[in-house]
Each structure stands twice: as structure tokens, then as C-alpha cells.
Structure 1
């Protein structure tokens, strides 16, 4: 059962507390009648670490996504579509979808406490670096939804990464991986490169191979043994069941599944090119 089933809205917010709990309880607390709230508030305790971690991930994901979408002064239709895409992949029910939209809108508001949200999120996920990485990859995907990354978006992404304990180098690696999956090439700040853009033909075999190395996070010069180790490491880190056990909301398991499929496809492409 997911965190949502264990205690909807205000009851989970009560267990979570802090800026994240205030956001979550505020946007969906009205969906719970008073009797249900009193009952579920007793059932959901802060000691239920997985439930509170899942609630924190859900809340932070959509609120921070809203902040990123607004940072360049306006929210584009493609950025809104990216948020909808994440919701679609999560197969949210109607109540969850409304909550996600409201969290996105809260993130766009002038009074949004980004620092408080990031600091609490880091405390809740603690040392689960795979969860933080999944969160960051979702945010990078959202920022790249319009096919470009301007300086304000880049600076905010860097700030988010650093606040969550990821270095600038780690950001560069994550950005390259996400951009490769989305068919966009070039470093942070590049508007678009080979293989990107609506209406273009698919990438050439050479570009596809370069993209596959980027998805795997390795250089084309690595040995076959290093290639295999990198692949096994990524598959182990991103296994959907393992991520859920660490606190990824069960509603996001489809995103994790697609990520492992992308890793597998990239590995098969490189293996074929190497004749393995």
C-alpha cells in the first residue's frame, strides 16, 4: 500500500511536519473529513519512515518543479506538459492529481519556501542518494521540457543540487544523462543539439551511440569490463523495487521502470557497436 493509502492529506502532513507537511496538509487536507482525519492521524506516525519519505518525495517533486518552471519569468506550455507527463506516468488518481497540480502552483508562488523545502527533504531522505538523484533527474527533465536551459534555470538547478549535497560535477553528469535520454546534447545552457527538437529526424547511428554512452555515464574509451561494471551498478542503483523500499512513492515506480529500460537500451546499443 502506498503512503497515500496509509493516510491521505492532512494526516500525512501531520506526521511529516515542517514546510513539506504544511504544503501537503494545506493543499489536500480539505479532502479528508474530520472523523477520517482524526482516525488516520493516529495511524500515521513519524516513525513510519517509508510513508513519510514517500510523502516528502511527492510533495517536494511537484512544488520544486513549479519553482523551476516560474524562474525564467513565465511558465511555458511545454513545462506544464512535463508536469502533466510525470503525473500521467505516476497514474495518479483524481485526488492525487489535484494535489500535484496545487503543489506545482504553490511552488510558483512568491512566498514559496524553497530553502526550507530542500533542507527538510534532505533530512527526510537522509543518505538515500539514489532517491535524491531520481528527484534531481526529474527536475532537470522539467527544466529541459522547452528544449533549452537558460542561465536562471541552470543557476537554480545548481543551487538545488548543492543544497541536497550534490556537487557541480555530479550535476554535470546528471544533466548529461538526462539530456541524452531526451535527445538533447551539449552542456548545461546549450539550447539544443544533435538529435533534439520536435519534428527532426532521429539521431544518426553515431549520435545514438554517443547518447548511449552518456546515458550510462561513461566515456567511449572505457574497457569492456568497465562498461559491464557501469551497467550493473546503474541497474542495481535504479531497480524500481529497491527505490520504492528506500522511499520512492509507489506511484513513481513507472518512472523508475522506464529509467532501467533506458539503461538497458543504451547498454545494448554500446554492446552491439563493440561486437560484444
Structure 2
């Protein structure tokens, strides 16, 4: 649409009515080519209303579900749990109708031996202008998908390391995200019960506190000021309004909200044990 509008305006400026007609035609072909280019990114483009949203969010979804499919196939076979995980994620993102079909196709595309992992991740990085917080949420969703069967296979970790490298994340940052997610899993399952005086098997209050520190990426030797700083930084990185304004699709916000809740709960536990405000 934007091509036809601009073409008509500039055409009329330099050629009157005939110029406007010619400009409209040229703009039409520009728009057509523009749409086709993004349709090749997974077909999600037609579900967004603006050109910027079309470019970044269509690529986000295609890159997310296709790389998820690639990770699922890393060990040679896509398990039922991995398929259910992809479906559950689509449910959480409220992907329905044609949009869900596109997500399913992207997942299948990622399973192909010829899947262009590097180019796909490069397209995503360019589409979000290298914004680290958006790329980090993307990585966190991939990590969650890789752990769907309760463990991380070596082949899956290699792919995650490759994706992180293409996105510009040092290995130490990926290792922190992996460690933090493992801590979050334990914390969700047992930490809340420990804090309220319940029992959760072998998961002790000491382990719950240790996982809280891992979630924030700090240690027991860090002072209160450092812990507060780490907490504020993580909450800022996962603030829903900020993420949407930077291009994260609203459908992916639920994942960021869950992460923010874990960060908040971990911080509250540490505050309680340390006795600071």
C-alpha cells in the first residue's frame, strides 16, 4: 500500500494526472514484491497490520518455530512430548486458524536436513535490529522448548550454542540462561511450597534459596546493592511494555511474564532471608 501511495504522490508532482497513474502502477508492483519477499519468511506477514510489524514479527514467528523444529530433530527423532510442547506454545500464544497452520509448517521446515539455520537466525537478528532483550527472550523460549523432556541433549545444546553465537551472545551468557532456567524449573516446582512451610520431597529450603540466587545471576557473596541492581536489570529486560515497544510480538509476551514472575519470587525470597528492603 505504501508503494502505491508514494508512487501516486511523486508521480502527480512531476507528471500531473498521467504521472500519478504511472506512479500508482509502479507503486503497485513495489508493494507486490515487498509482500512476496516477506511471505517467503514463513507466511506470517499477512497477519500483521503495519509494515514494521509485518517485517519483524513475521520473521520472529518463523524463526522461532522453525528453529524449535530443528532442535526437536537434533537427536534424530521428534518425540511426542516435543510435538505437544510446540502445540502448547501455540496455545499459549493464542495462534489459531491460518496463523497456527503457518507455525506448524515452520516447525516442519526446521526438521529438514537442509534447513538454513544461519540465514534464518541472521534474518531474525536483522529484523529486531540486534536488540538484545528481544533476542534474549527468543533464546529463553528456545531453551524452554529444548527442556520439554526434562533434560538437554548434547545435540540440542550444540544447536543452542550455534544460535547464541549467531545472535552475538557469548557462551558464558548462554550458560547462565541454561543454568537460570534449570533453577526456575526447580524453584517453580518446589520453592513456593518451601516458602509457605510446605514440603516438596528432597527439595530443601537451602536448595530453594540457592536456585533463587541462580535465577538472578548473583552469588551469596554479593552485597545487597549488587543483588538489587541485578534484580532491576532483569525486570527491565522482561518488562512487557518495553518488550512490545521494541518489537516483541504480543503473542510471545506470556513467556516474558512467566520469567518476570520467577525473577520477582526469587528476589522476594532473597530479601526475606537477608532482611533488607
TM-score (norm 2): 0.77
Out of 63-72 and 258-267, give the one that drifted further.
258-267
Q: Which position in structure 1 is the counterpart of 2:234?
A: 234
Moved more, 229-238 or 200-209: 200-209
Larger Rg: 2
User: What residue in structure 1 maps to residue 80 of structure 2?
Assistant: 77
Asked if the contact 1:161/1:171 (under 8 Å) is kept, the reply is yes
Provide the rounded CA distance (Å) in 2 between the counterparts of 1:164 and 1:22.
21
* Compared CA separation, residues 202 and 232, structure 1 to 2 (3 A): farther
Instruction: Note closer, same or farther for the CA distance 1:202–1:23 as it changes in structure 2 (3 Å cut).
Output: farther
Match of 1:216 in 2: 216
Q: How does 1:138-177 map to 2 (within 5 A)?
A: 138-177=141-180
Q: Does the C-alpha gap of structure 1 residues 146 and 124 become closer, same or farther in structure 2, counting only changes over 3 Å? A: same
Partner of 1:59: 62
Q: How does 1:2-17 map to 2 (within 5 A)?
A: 14-15=34-35, 17=37
- CA drift of 1:96 comes to 2.0
Q: Which SS does the other structure have where 1:154 is aligned?
A: helix
1:183 aligns with 2:201: no
**Residue 266 (structure 1) shift:** 0.9
- Assess, with a 3 A threshold, how the Cα gap between structure 1 residues 170 and 265 changes in structure 2: closer, same or farther: same
Write 1 or 2 for the structure with the bigger share of helix: 2
Look up the match of 1:24.
Answer: 42
Which of 95, 101, 111 is the equivalent residue of 1:92? Answer: 95
1:203 and 1:90 map into 2 onto residues whose CA distance is 31
Distance 1:222 1:97 in 2: 45
Residues matched between the structures, number: 236
What is the rounded CA distance, in whole Å, between the counterparts of 1:60 and 1:145 in structure 2? 19
Are 1:262 and 2:262 matched, yes or no? yes
User: How far 1:141 moved relative to its partner?
Assistant: 1.2
Contact between 2:41 and 2:59, CA under 8 Å: does it hold in 1?
A: no
Indicate conservation of the 8 Å contact 1:13/1:22, yes or no: no
2:130 pairs with 1:127? yes
* Residue 78 of structure 1, CA deviation: 2.0
Q: Secondary structure at the match of 2:261?
A: helix
Unaligned residue ranges in structure 2 (runs of 5+): 1-30, 192-199
In the alignment, structure 1 segments of 5+ residues that lack a partner are: 1-10, 30-36, 185-193
CA distance in 2, matches of 1:266, 1:123: 33
Which whole-Å CA distance do the structure 2 matches of 1:228 and 1:274 have between them?
Answer: 12
Q: Is the 8 A contact 1:59 1:100 kept in 2?
A: yes
* Greater relative CO, 1 or 2 (CA 8 Å, sep 6+): 1
Deviates more, 1:105-114 or 1:261-270: 105-114
Check conservation: 1:23, 1:103, Cα contact below 8 A.
Answer: no
- Which secondary structure state, in structure 2, belongs to the residue aligned with residue 183 of structure 1? helix
